[in-house]
A and B are shown apart, each in its own frame.
Chain A
């Protein structure tokens, strides 16, 4: 079966750094995605990790440890517009993307 865990909610201050964790147990592993979803809108792609290590893209970075079944999304220099839900999703052996329930991030001024 597939199991993906991430915190339900997080709060951080504008300009700060926040780390959103994701742990997973899946049948096979072919990569891990992070998506951002604003309320009532479609998810948009942030990052993809298939090998261990850190991928950096502007203010956002994503880390993967396959041996630990663990990933995190790091957001730097937080802005108000970063308030959104962040979805961790794993591509398993069945060629399907399994999503976590999402972490609702609130950025406070």
Chain B
């Protein structure tokens, strides 16, 4: 079984809809991250959490919110989706600041 899972894997929605992307991990890591990737670009950090009570904004947090329901679960919400939020979204985990991040398989989101 995969250590970092994301649901859904693909989603098509309409402008103005509320969307939640979910991430779960079985690695026992405290640190979790949400990134988005646009075609031909690197990953941009949306939000990160170093434990259940520690949530921080990344470089592109506007239009997004997150919830860390438990050590193993970190959800990303788009309160009112817009077309320029169409992208590939990755969740990642790590067990230390200088340690490698393990990525989930990604969620491809299309906002029409």
- Residues of A whose CB lies within 8 Å of any CB of B are 4, 8, 30-31, 33, 40-45, 48, 50, 87, 89, 91, 95-102
Name the contact of B48 in the complex, choosing from A41, A48, A96 (C-beta under 8 A): A96
Task: Enumerate 28 A-B pairs (CB-CB under 8 Å) in ascending A order.
Answer: A4-B42, A8-B40, A40-B88, A40-B106, A42-B103, A42-B104, A42-B106, A43-B43, A43-B90, A43-B103, A50-B98, A87-B42, A87-B43, A89-B42, A91-B97, A91-B98, A95-B48, A95-B50, A96-B48, A97-B33, A97-B101, A98-B59, A99-B42, A99-B44, A100-B42, A101-B41, A102-B40, A102-B41
**A33-B101, A99-B44 given. 10 additional CB < 8 A pairs?**
A40-B106, A42-B103, A42-B104, A42-B105, A43-B90, A45-B100, A48-B98, A96-B48, A98-B45, A102-B40
Q: Among residues 88 to 112 in chain B, which have CB atoms less than 8 Å away from a CB atom of chain A?
A: 88, 90, 97-106
B28 at the interface (CB under 8 A from A): no
Does the CB pair A42–B90 fall under 8 Å?
yes
- Residues of B whose CB lies within 8 Å of any CB of A are 33, 35, 40-45, 48, 50, 58-59, 88, 90, 97-106
Does the CB pair A102–B98 fall under 8 Å?
no
Tell me the dominant secondary structure on chain B's binding face: loop
